[in-house]
Every structure is written in C-alpha cells, then in structure tokens.
Structure 1
C-alpha cells in the first residue's frame, strides 16, 4: 500500500543548489579570512544546516554568527537562485499527486528562502506546505524541521496520517536520521550530495536512482 504523505527535502533532492551555496560559502570563508575547505568538502556542506557545516569545516564558534551573516549576504544577493530543478522532478511530483500522495517540503534551509526558491521555479504548486528552519537557529536540525512539518500537517483539514503512512525523501544522512527520530521511514535519492557510503551507513528503507524510481517507491513501497 502506498504512503499517503511524503516529506520532501529541497537541496539535492528537488533542486541542484550546489553552485549558489558553494559560491556563498566560499565568499563567507574569504570574507572572514579563513582557509577554504577542499572542493570535495565544499560539496558536503550542501544540505545540513549552515551552522553545523561551518563548525564542521573549521569556522571557530566565536565567529559563527559573523560567518552566517556573510554567507546569507551572498546567498540572498544572488546565490539563492544560482540553482536548477533536477530533470524529471516535475514529472515525478505530478505522478505522486495524481496517485493521491500529499506532499510537504521539509528542508534545513530557512523557510523564508525555501519559499522564494520554490516559487521562483514554480514548484510550490505541488506542496500543501513548505517547512524549513528558522533564521535565528531555534529550529535548525532536520529532526526539528520534521517535527515542525508534522505539526503543520496535523493542523490542516486533512490532518496527520499515522506514522507508518509517512515517508521522508532526501539525499543526505541527516534526512534519514532526522526522520528516524520520529519513527518515519525514508527513501534516499542518489542524485544529490551524499558522500560515498553515506546511504549505506544511514540505512534508508529504499534508494532511488531516478525521479521515476522515487515516484514508484513512494507509490508502491
């Protein structure tokens, strides 16, 4: 039996946001006079909360606020829309809606930015809610964002289905681990930014290599 509700990540799942995010993070490192991470490490900052990625890649805690401010200046100044929708995503979302699946975005990106991106690419039409993190960091982990998404859905006319009818779709381990905190099954997608072996270590219920495979996995788990 198909799931009835799919929580869907944004960066690395719906859109290839790496060019804009990496350029904005590079700008922040340069602005603070800090050494840039390697190109491989820069790709790994895409997906998790920016604060978590910054600390993991050498930003001192006492300079974190300064770093995030510089990053967001570059991101809102143009990096946000240096982005593209993955081929096949619109078709997959259409297939899921036609199959009766409710769709909600659950992203570690600040909600205000997620809304602008989804509206820019005309993807907001597919989702009944767009849920993300807060700019002040009070809702930052993926588990926090998923909790926010569940509460948002619960307050809708359709209400919240039982946990076994919900699935989280994402490209990184924090999507999988955050969903597991709430007892939610997961489907990992391979076209995002996960490192080699990341999915195997996190153990999603299923792995999809194309948007068509993703739609099939949600509709017939």
Structure 2
C-alpha cells in the first residue's frame, strides 16, 4: 500500500496566527520584541533550532519555549483551524495509508489532530520528542517509518509539506516531497520539491498518480 506522510502546520491546519501570537507574547516576557508577522518564518522548524536565529542564548531559548508552551498548548486543540478543503482532501485519499509527520511535540500534535476531528484518517500521528532526541523533520520522519515498518526503497512513500524542512527531511530517506503552495514557505523555498501543488484537486491528482513516489 502507498503511504503519504503529511505535515501539520501549513499543510493541514492554518496555525500560523495562533503560534506566532503566543510566541510573540512569550518572547515579550523575556524583553524580546517581535511581532507575529516577524515570527512567521519560525512556523515549521523546531523552536529549539529556530529561536537562536533571533539572537537568543540557550537559556533564553529554553525560557521562551517554556513560556510559549504554558499558553499555546492549552488552546492549540480548540483554537487551531483546519484549512478549507482539508476534510475533503483526506476523504478523497481513502485508498492511501496516511500518517502525520510534524516537528511539533507529538502529544500536542495528537491533541490538535483529534481536536479538529481528523484523527480517524491517520494510522499514526508522529511528532517530535525532544527529551529523547527526536527533533527536526528528518528525525520525525525516521521515527514514523520505523513505527510503520516502512522502507521507502521498497515501498512507495511520499511526503506532503509546505516548508523546505519537509523537503530536506524526506530527502534523507529518499522520499520525494509534494509541496503545497498554501502554507508558509518563502518564495523559492520549495524548489527542491518533486512538485508544488496549488490546491486540493491538484494534490489529489498527484497522490493518486504514479509519478511522485519513492518507488513504484
């Protein structure tokens, strides 16, 4: 059976406004002023690796993440909106095995997927596990593959995501990525994707065709 790994933020859910609002407030507690708009590029990669780019020390990074989690995690499952068309997309992909692969902490990702009512479509919701060293998209994808018993060289797998982290992480396992244009990528960021799609119909066509899988 073919398996599609789907990113969460910027692919299935339009979470940027909620994430950047809470991250901006967390940084303000440390005396660091950044508007939600300025923080948009940080939606996708793990904050542990993204926040130091703002000039934060390791101690400040840890403090900012702790403050962010204290507020964001409490509302993520109830205030994160699905993109229009996500439910239709998942229903049309019923012939594929679907799994979530996100850099979000796995417990938070699971609550969001359940909260927006799409958990029944997935055989697994895989996310980060920082205490055990699972951080970044490649580590998450590797964990999902292991738990599903998948070898992309022998079984057809594809990644679907909106950032270069998805493309790069999947490439480490020889998995092509279908980029989605409705997420949070900067111009040209998805140049390494096998294909960039602009809507649900185009994504369904790509996932039900034969051209973009790790093996046929």
Q: Tell whether the structures are fold-level matches, with TM greater than 0.5.
A: yes
CA RMSD of the aligned region, Å?
A: 1.7
Displacement over 2 Å in runs of 4+: 38-41, 77-82, 159-164
The structural deviation recorded for 1:58 is 2.4
- After TM superposition, the structure 1 = structure 2 runs for residues 25-40 of structure 1, keeping only pairs within 5 Å, are 25-36=23-34, 39-40=36-37
- Select the structure with the greater relative contact order (CA < 8 A; seq sep ≥ 6): 1
Residue 65 in 1 paired to residue 62 in 2?
A: yes
Q: Is the 8 A contact 2:24 2:36 kept in 1?
A: no
Structure 2 partner of 1:182? 173
Residue 88 in 1 paired to residue 77 in 2?
A: no
Q: 1:10 pairs with 8, 17, 38, which one?
A: 8
In the TM superposition, what whole-angstrom CA distance separates every residue of 1:55-82 from its partner, at most 9, and x where no partner exists? 1222222322111101101212325533
- After TM superposition, the structure 1 = structure 2 runs for residues 18-167 of structure 1, keeping only pairs within 5 Å, are 18-36=16-34, 39-79=36-76, 81-97=78-94, 100-136=95-131, 138-154=133-149, 162-163=153-154, 165-167=156-158
The structural deviation recorded for 1:164 is 5.8
Distance 1:41 1:139 in 2: 27
Structure 1 partner of 2:214? none
Length, aligned pairs only = 210
Structure 2 partner of 1:169? 160
Q: What is the TM-score when the length of structure 2 is the normalising length?
A: 0.91
The structural deviation recorded for 1:198 is 0.8
The structural deviation recorded for 1:27 is 1.2
The structural deviation recorded for 1:28 is 1.2
In the TM superposition, what whole-angstrom CA distance separates every residue of 1:88-107 from its partner, at most 9, and x where no partner exists? 1111111111xx21000000
